[in-house]
Amino acid sequence: MRKVVLITGASSGVGLALCRRLLEEDHELHLCLACRNMSKAEAVRTALLASHPTAEVSTVQVDVSSLPSVFQASKELKQRFQRFDYVYLNAGIMPNPQLNIKALFCGLFSRKAIHIFSTAEGVLTQSEKITADGLQEVFETNVFGHFILIRELESLLCHSDSPSQLIWTSSRNAVKSNFSLEDIQHSKGQEPYSSSKYAIDLLSVALNKNFNQRGLYSSVACPGTVLTNLTYGILSPFVWSLIMPIIWLLRFFANAFTLTPYNGTEALVWLFHQKPESLNPLLKYLSATTGFGSNYVTSKKIDLDEDTAEKFYQNLLELEKDIRVTIQKTKNQS
């Protein structure tokens, strides 16, 4: 029986590389590409089937920054599938990134230089907008849209006889100090990307606590520093090419510089082969690359407490409840 894998953000970057690598691991998979741009998704589908003709590849349109889109996609998926073995929650944004040059230079001459260079902690800010749903854009895209997708697909994920696995694309940039339970959408801060990735870590831990007994497991992974459209928003491709010799040198001291989407998927593919019940829910699994270019997987304990994770989960449930009430009122009035 074919394993069924749903991947959000599958048409480019890490998501596309993940599709290719998963089919290299198991050419009998059914991949469902959940993408915003359907023309790109169909082009990827055609290319994947050309290289792996025994696989099944389908597409579904979903924009995780739009709840109506998430609800519609969920409805379609429940009509087309009986279960998902894996869901890779990979889609994400980092809008209008700005480097704090002063903080960067101060950091480069400190003991934390390599850490700052490989995580961008404290030196990267973003400005964002409010979505049509009235939510902060980064929060809705990276966290809440995926949360609603999971909630809508529970019947396809919770099977105690055969576990399903959620695998989130998190980040080494997920910093506890950038997240607050009093402002889960990070509307008052300047580092919404970091906050959203820490929120993903919290949510994964809470999902394990609430769903493991029902056969659903959750893990978080970090692809490392990968050169994609996301990172090209921070520095232009030309600037990245100029500093590449420095990055190659730093690889001998820090393993986070995976650089290519293929390398960045190492931990995501490794998780595909693990029994989810054997994994530690308090660990983040990291794609890593040595100075000589060899890929491997390492792990790091997530800097959180489980009470905060559960409180955040309950906050999401309350937000979901409020939104569903609003949607129902709108329907009744129309």
pLDDT at residue 48, as a whole number: 97
pLDDT at residue 31, rounded to an integer: 98
Q: Which of 31-45, 50-64, 87-101, 194-208 has the lowest mean pLDDT?
A: 87-101
Work out whether strand 216-222 and strand 97-99 pair parallel, antiparallel, or are unpaired. unpaired
Kind plus residue range of the DSSP H or E element containing 86: strand 86-89
**Mean pLDDT score of the chain, rounded to an integer?**
91
Q: How far apart are CA 201 and CA 110, in angstroms?
A: 28
pLDDT grade for 126, boundaries at 50, 70 and 90: confident
At residue 25, does pLDDT exceed 90? yes
Burial string for 244-281 (b: 16+ CB within 10 Å, else e) reads: eeebeebbeebbbbbbbbbbbbbbbbebbeeebeebeb
Has residue 118 got a pLDDT over 60? no
Contacts of 165 by beta carbon, 8 Å cutoff, 6+ apart: 85, 86, 87, 216, 217, 218, 219, 271, 276
pLDDT recorded at residue 215:
95
- Asked about 198 being catalytic, the answer comes back as no
In the prediction, which pLDDT does 250 show?
79
Return the domain boundaries, the chain: 4-332
Coil, helix or strand at residue 77:
helix
How many C-beta atoms surround the C-beta of residue 176 within 10 A?
A: 16
Mean pLDDT of 182-190: 94
Which position has the higher pLDDT, 256 or 62? 62
What pLDDT is attached to residue 117?
Answer: 55
Asked whether the predicted pLDDT for residue 162 surpasses 80, the reply is: yes
Contacts of 150 (CB under 8 A, 6+ apart): 87, 89, 157, 166, 207
Instruction: Give CA–CA dist 138/195, Å, rounded.
Output: 9
Among 193, 198, 217, 313, the active-site one is: 193
Structure tokens at 301: 């304990």
Amino acid at site 237: P
4-332, CATH topology level: Rossmann fold (3.40.50)
112-144 residues labelled b (16+ CB within 10 A) or e (exposed): ebebbbbbbbbbbbbebeebebebbbbbbbbbb
Q: Stretch 135-156: mean pLDDT, rounded? A: 97
pTM of the complete model = 0.92
Q: Whose structure tokens read 């001998």?
A: 252
